[in-house]
Structure 1
Amino acid sequence: MATVTLKGTPFETAGSLPAVGSAAPDFELVKTDLSVTKLADYKGTKLVLNIFPSIDTPTCATSVRKFNESASSLKGVNVLCVSADLPFAAARFCGAEGIDSVDTGSSFRSTFGQDYGLVFTTGPLVGLLSRAVVVLNEDGQVVYTEQVAETADEPNYDAALAALA
């Protein structure tokens, strides 16, 4: 279990992020077209998991925009933005914002939040995902993790992108 804050108030998550050097837990997430994407779909490419509570909050939206901008210039790298939002919310947001260099995946019918230790278990965000970034190499091995200590703060984009080198 990890403790993160929301506007200074501490809340618990289900566990801890996968350890650097470990194999990333497999996942099934729902894409905006309602198809399912899995970790195996990204084998052979580096993958940034941009994980957050909801696309409809300012910090979460900013992270999607920033990773979209970065991803457009990175070869052999995919960015998957993950939240418990319904796929329709991600499609609406990405369409309105012209976001086209990242993928989105909804955890609404999967165990992703438990498997990655990120689902909130206490507080007003129970059931949503804590803000985090997990970077995987081409073989699905974890090379970088960050669980953002204050939910309202942005992740360390530079550190996440540096882990891709």
Structure 2
Amino acid sequence: MEIVADDNKVQLVGEPLAVGDALPHFKLFDEDGNKVKMAELLGKPLVISVVPDLNTPVCSVQTKKFNQQADYHQNVRFVTVSKNTPLEQKNWCAAEGVTNLSVLSDEEESFGYATNLLVPDLDVLARAVYVMDAEGKVVYRQVVPNIGQEPDYLAALDALEQFEK
């Protein structure tokens, strides 16, 4: 898949997960450097917000918006994934007051390759939002065509309504 970054077309490592796909196996790291496996994220509906770099304005806004939404969706797990190191993520969360969602590191690119969201030419993840059911099946997907633009938050949040009935 091709996306735009800084007015240049770049390729992802493959075709990202589609609606109906199962979340593949991967590992991420929490703010303390502990391994978090895909299976540990399941058990309730899941929103995965994927950002290229937390230390940039658009990624910061995206993460803070989902952090705010986590208060309104108590039965949903919210996760942000980036390639920032666990220490960078921990420092960013402390500075920005982000406490309602988990921020996980894909510094080893396990998630990026498993979901095909890695942009190898830029060494970042593509900007994306996934909503999964409790078993890890994709019910909503948005891969933002221009990495510098925000996702459609309302569409992602609308996908959560099916779990709140």
Query: Which segments of 5 or more consecutive residues in structure 2 lack a partner in the other structure?
Result: none
Partner of 1:146: 142
Residue of structure 1 equivalent to 2:15: 16
Structure 1 distance, partners of 2:102, 2:50, is 12
The two structures, once aligned, show a CA RMSD in angstroms of: 1.0
Q: Which amino acid aligns with 1:42?
A: L
Provide the rounded CA distance (Å) in 2 between the counterparts of 1:44 and 1:120: 29
Q: 2:152 corresponds to which residue?
A: 156
Q: Is the 2:109–2:118 Cα contact (8 Å) retained in structure 1?
A: no
8 Å contact 2:48–2:129 — kept in the other structure? Answer: yes
1:28 and 2:27 are equivalent in the alignment: yes
Cα deviations by residue, 1:48-88 (Å, 9 ceiling, x for unpaired): 11101100110000011000000111121111110111011
> Taking structure 2 as the reference length, what is the TM-score of the superposition?
0.93
Tell me if the contact between 1:29 and 1:105 (Cα under 8 Å) persists in the aligned partners. yes
> Unaligned 5+ residue runs, structure 1?
none
Identity among equivalent pairs (%):
33
**Map of 1:39-118 to 2, 5 A cutoff?**
39-118=38-117
Question: How many residues in Structure 1 have an aligned counterpart in Structure 2?
Answer: 161
Residue 118 of structure 2: SS of its match in structure 1?
A: coil
Residue 141 of structure 1: how far off its partner (Å): 0.5
Report the TM-score when normalising by structure 1: 0.93
- Contact persistence 2:83–2:109 (CA under 8 A): no
C-alpha contact 2:81 2:103 (8 A) present in aligned 1: yes
Residue pair 1:53, 1:131 contacting (<8 A) in 2 also: yes
Measure how far apart 1:8 and its partner are: 2.1
The structure with more helix, counted as a fraction of residues: 2
The structure 1 segments of at least 4 consecutive aligned residues displaced by more than 3 Å after TM superposition are none
